[in-house]
Amino acid sequence: MGWGAMSNEENYCFDVAGYLHVRGVLTGDEVNALCQALDKSRKTKEMLGWPAPLQTPFRDLLVHPRLVWYLNQIIGHGFRLDQEPKLLCDSTCDVTAPLVGGGEPRDPARAYYFQNGRRYCQAVQAIWALADVKDGDGGFVMVPGTHKSNVETPEDIVTGRDDMGLVFQPSLEAGDLLLVAGTTLHGMRPWRGTGPQQLLSYPYAGRAALQSAGTGPKAKENSSPEWHRDISAEQSASLYRPDYQDSVPPPVVVTDGEMVELDESREVFHPSIYKLDVDSGIDHKEFYFWELTGYLVLRGVMDEVWLEEANNAIDQFQDQIVVGEELAGGSRSLAGTGRPTLGGVLELPQPYCDPFRKMVSYPLVQHRLNWMGGSGARMSGPTVFCAVQGTSGHFLHDGGEPMYPPMGYQLQSGRSYAEAVTVTWQLRDVLPDLGGFACVPGSHKAKYPSPPGVRSYDDHMGLVKQLVMKAGDVLFFADGALTHGTTAWKNPIPRRGVLIKYSSRSFHRSGGEMVHPWNRWSHHLIEGMTDAQLAVMRGTDRDARQHNVPRLEVKDGVVEVSYKRGSALYSGDAPKGPVIDKVSHS
Ligand SMILES: [Fe+2]
C-alpha cells in the first residue's frame, strides 16, 4: 500500500457502503502492546490519560500514520478527536440499546458530503480490532449504506425486532482498522465469540463540526456573560457560545411565527413543509429498503396454481428456448456457457399465455412501480431466464456513476424517481451461492465508478449480494442505476425467472420509427433540409450513454454530421449515413 491517494476501490466502498475495512494496519507487537496495557490497567476508560508507559500505545494510535492518511481523505484535513477513545464491549456498551445513525433526519454536523470529487464525511468512527471477530460473534453491527439513507429508519430496524436482512456484523482480524461513517446506522449487540472482545473505538470529527463538548474545566464553565440576566431566556439562547457543556446540545427556541419559547428538552426543532403521508399506501419499511438498497423483493406474490401454470407453459415450449451469448465479460468466477432465454410468452396460444398476461398491470406490482418511478411506466415483453447448471453469470453493470439520466435514480420531496425499474418474477427457488441475480446494494447512489473487481465479481470486496428468493417472489430493481448482474448458475434445477423491463414516462429506452424526421414532421417543414439540419429534426431515440445517435460536430467552424458508430447500443432505426435521399422519397 502506497501513500498516494485512496484507490477507487476504497473510495467506492466507503461511498456506497459507509464503511471501509483496512486489513492488517497494526503489527502483532502493536496489538500486543495495546492488549498488555489494557490488562495492566484493568480499566476500560481514559486510556489517553493513564500513567506512562500505559498511555503510550493509545496516544500513538490517535495519530497512526495510516489512519491520518485515510481521515485526511475521508473527513478532510484538520480532522480532530470528538470524544475519548472507548473499549467496545458488553461491559462498556448497552447491548440492548437501539441502533443509532441514519441519514434522515439529517444531522449536518455528522453527515456525508460529496460533490465534484470532493468528500467531507463530518464524523468517522475508527475501530481498531485487538482480537479477531468472526462471523456470528456479535458485537459491533451496522447497516451499510445508511449514511446516505433519505428515509427515516423504521422502528423495527432500530430496535432489532426485524433486521430486514440489512444488519451486518463485520468479521475482523487483530490489527485491522474499520472506518465507519458517523451516520451509518450502528450499535452493539451481545458478544457471542469464544475469545475476548477487544474493539477500540476512536470517534473523529470534521474541523468545524459541532458534535460533543469537551470534558476539561473550561468546557464546564457557564458560557453566558453576566448581562444576559437582563434579557429573556430566549434572547440569551440566541446568543449562546458553541462547544461548552452547557451549549451541547444547543438551546432550542420553538416558534410558530408569533411567539418564541425555550424548549428545555433541547430536541431539534426544524419545521418542514411536508408531513409523512400515512395514507400514501406505501409501506414505510418497503420504501426505506428500496431507497437504501435500490432493490425490493415482494414475497409470495404468486400462489401455487399460478406458479404451476407458468412453469407448465414453459415446459410446453422448451424447444423455443434460445441460447444466447456468454455474458461473463472475461470474469473468472462468472464464466460458463451461453444464456438460455425464452421470449414471446405474452403471445403464446391460450391457455399458456395466461399466467404471463396476469403479470401485466398486476395490482401489487403496479402500485410499487407507481411509487418507485411515477405513473406512465411501460413494459417490455417478458423474457424468461432459463439458465441451466453451467450457464455463465452476467458481469455486473450500471451504477450511480457515471450519471445516466434515462435510467437513473433520484429521490426528491419523498418521491422515488427510478427511470428504469426491472421486475423479475421467480418461478423457482433461488438458493444461496447457486447463482442468480446479484447486485451492490446502495450502488444506485454511488458517486465513484464501480471497480473492475466488482463488475467481474472476481474481487467484489464483500459488496455484492446474491439474492435468495422463493418461487412466487417478485424482485424489483433500479435498472441502470443499481450495479447488478447474475452469478453463474450452479443449481442442477434450471433457473426460471420472468424478467420484465419498465421504462418511465420520461425517457425513450429503445428508439423506433419516430426517430425519422419524415415520420415526425410534415414534408414541407423538412423538404430541402441539409443533412445537418435533418439531424436535429429527429425524434426521440435510445440513449445508451455514448455516441449512439447521429450527431453534429464542429470542425474548424464547420458543422458536420457524424454517423460513426462505437460500441454503444443502437436502436434498429438509427441511420448509418446521410438521410437526405430518404426525405425526398418520403
Ligand atoms: Fe442489466
pLDDT 10s digits, 387-432: 999 999 999 999 999 999 999 999 999 999 999 999 999 999 999 9
Per-residue model confidence (pLDDT) at position 256: 96
Per-residue model confidence (pLDDT) at position 586: 67
Q: Give the integer Cα–Cα distance in Å for 386 and 436.
A: 11
Burial call 60-82: b when 16+ CB within 10 Å, e when fewer: ebeebeebebbbebbbbeebeeb
Burial call 245-274: b when 16+ CB within 10 Å, e when fewer: bebbeebbbeeeeeeeeeeeeeeeeeeeee
Per-residue model confidence (pLDDT) at position 426: 98
Distance from the alpha carbon of residue 498 to the mean position of ligand 1, in angstroms: 14
Q: Give the integer Cα–Cα distance in Å for 41 and 44.
A: 8
500-519 mean pLDDT: 94
Share of the chain above pLDDT 90, in %: 91
Distance from the alpha carbon of residue 174 to the mean position of ligand 1, in angstroms: 39
Q: Are 104 and 150 in contact (CB under 8 A)?
A: yes
Distance from the alpha carbon of residue 431 to the mean position of ligand 1, in angstroms: 20
Q: Which of 552, 264, 508, 261 is nearest to 405 (CA)?
A: 508
Total H helices, total E strands in the chain: 15, 28
Distance from the alpha carbon of residue 484 to the mean position of ligand 1, in angstroms: 6
551-558 mean pLDDT: 92
Q: Which of 377, 185, 215, 388 is nearest to 289 (CA)?
A: 185
Per-residue model confidence (pLDDT) at position 72: 97
List own/partner pairs for 448-451 with CB under 8 A and 24 or more apart: 448/8, 448/11, 448/12, 448/15, 448/16, 448/401, 449/8, 449/12, 449/399, 449/401, 449/402, 450/12, 450/396, 450/399, 450/401, 450/483, 451/8, 451/9, 451/12
Distance of CA 453 to the CA centre of its chain: 18
Query: Among the CATH numbers 3.30.70.330, 2.40.50.100, 2.60.120.620, 1.10.760.10, which is that of 8-205?
Result: 2.60.120.620
pLDDT tens-digit map of 225-259: 899 999 999 999 999 999 999 999 999 999 999 99
Q: Give the integer Cα–Cα distance in Å for 465 and 263.
A: 45
pTM for the model: 0.95
Distance from the alpha carbon of residue 145 to the mean position of ligand 1, in angstroms: 21
Distance from the alpha carbon of residue 321 to the mean position of ligand 1, in angstroms: 20
pLDDT tens-digit map of 174-206: 999 999 999 999 999 999 999 989 999 999 999
pLDDT tens-digit map of 456-495: 999 999 999 999 999 999 999 999 999 999 999 999 999 9
* Strand ranges, E, within 146-251: 177-181, 186-191, 199-205
Q: Are 18 and 184 in contact (CB under 8 A)?
A: yes
Distance from the alpha carbon of residue 134 to the mean position of ligand 1, in angstroms: 34
Distance from the alpha carbon of residue 323 to the mean position of ligand 1, in angstroms: 17
Q: Which residues contact 365 (CB under 8 A, 6 or more apart)?
A: 298, 301, 359, 423, 474, 476
The domain limits of the chain are 8-205, 284-503, 513-585
In angstroms, how far apart are the furthest CA atoms of the chain?
Answer: 93
- CB atoms closer than 10 angstroms to residue 111: 19
Distance from the alpha carbon of residue 468 to the mean position of ligand 1, in angstroms: 18
pLDDT tens-digit map of 441-466: 999 999 999 999 999 999 999 999 99
Per-residue model confidence (pLDDT) at position 548: 79
Give me the sign of the Cα torsion angle 375, 381, 386, 390: negative
Distance from the alpha carbon of residue 139 to the mean position of ligand 1, in angstroms: 37
Distance from the alpha carbon of residue 56 to the mean position of ligand 1, in angstroms: 53
SS percent in the chain: helix, strand, coil, step 5 = 25, 20, 55
For cell 435468495, the residue is 468
Distance from the alpha carbon of residue 62 to the mean position of ligand 1, in angstroms: 45
Per-residue model confidence (pLDDT) at position 571: 85
CATH code for the structural domain at 284-503: 2.60.120.620
Per-residue model confidence (pLDDT) at position 129: 98
Per-residue model confidence (pLDDT) at position 569: 81
Say yes or no: do domains 8-205 and 284-503 share a fold: yes
Distance from the alpha carbon of residue 563 to the mean position of ligand 1, in angstroms: 26
Distance from the alpha carbon of residue 553 to the mean position of ligand 1, in angstroms: 31
All cell numbers assigned to 196: 475476548
Distance from the alpha carbon of residue 55 to the mean position of ligand 1, in angstroms: 54
Q: Which of 62, 201, 209, 64 is nearest to 123 (CA)?
A: 209
pLDDT tens-digit map of 349-389: 999 999 999 999 999 999 999 999 999 999 999 999 999 99
Least confident among 4-13, 147-156, 330-339, 565-574: 565-574
DSSP lists the bridge partners of residue 486 as 394, 437
Distance from the alpha carbon of residue 480 to the mean position of ligand 1, in angstroms: 7
Per-residue model confidence (pLDDT) at position 482: 98
Predicted confidence (pLDDT) at residue 522 exceeds the cutoff of 70 = yes
Per-residue model confidence (pLDDT) at position 417: 98
**pLDDT band (50, 70, 90) for residue 509:** confident
Distance from the alpha carbon of residue 347 to the mean position of ligand 1, in angstroms: 24
Distance from the alpha carbon of residue 170 to the mean position of ligand 1, in angstroms: 29
Measured CA angle at 379 (ends 377, 385), to 5 deg:
140
For cell 411509487, the residue is 371
Query: Pairing state of beta strands 186-191 and 378-379?
Result: unpaired
**pLDDT band (50, 70, 90) for residue 565:** confident
DSSP lists the bridge partners of residue 474 as 298, 425
Q: Are 454 and 460 in contact (CB under 8 A)?
A: yes
All cell numbers assigned to 403: 450519471
Distance from the alpha carbon of residue 485 to the mean position of ligand 1, in angstroms: 6
Give me the sign of the Cα torsion angle 207, 212, 215, 217: positive
Distance from the alpha carbon of residue 398 to the mean position of ligand 1, in angstroms: 7
Q: Which of 380, 407, 396 is nearest to 480 (CA)?
A: 407
DSSP result, 350-395: TTTTHHHHTTTT-HHHHHHHHHHH-S--EEPPPEEE---TTB--EE
Distance from the alpha carbon of residue 486 to the mean position of ligand 1, in angstroms: 9
Whole-number average pLDDT of the chain: 95
Predicted confidence (pLDDT) at residue 318 exceeds the cutoff of 90 = yes
All cell numbers assigned to 390: 453451467
Distance from the alpha carbon of residue 396 to the mean position of ligand 1, in angstroms: 8
Question: Collapsing DSSP states into helix, strand and coil, what is residue 288?
Answer: helix
Distance from the alpha carbon of residue 397 to the mean position of ligand 1, in angstroms: 6
Distance from the alpha carbon of residue 403 to the mean position of ligand 1, in angstroms: 16
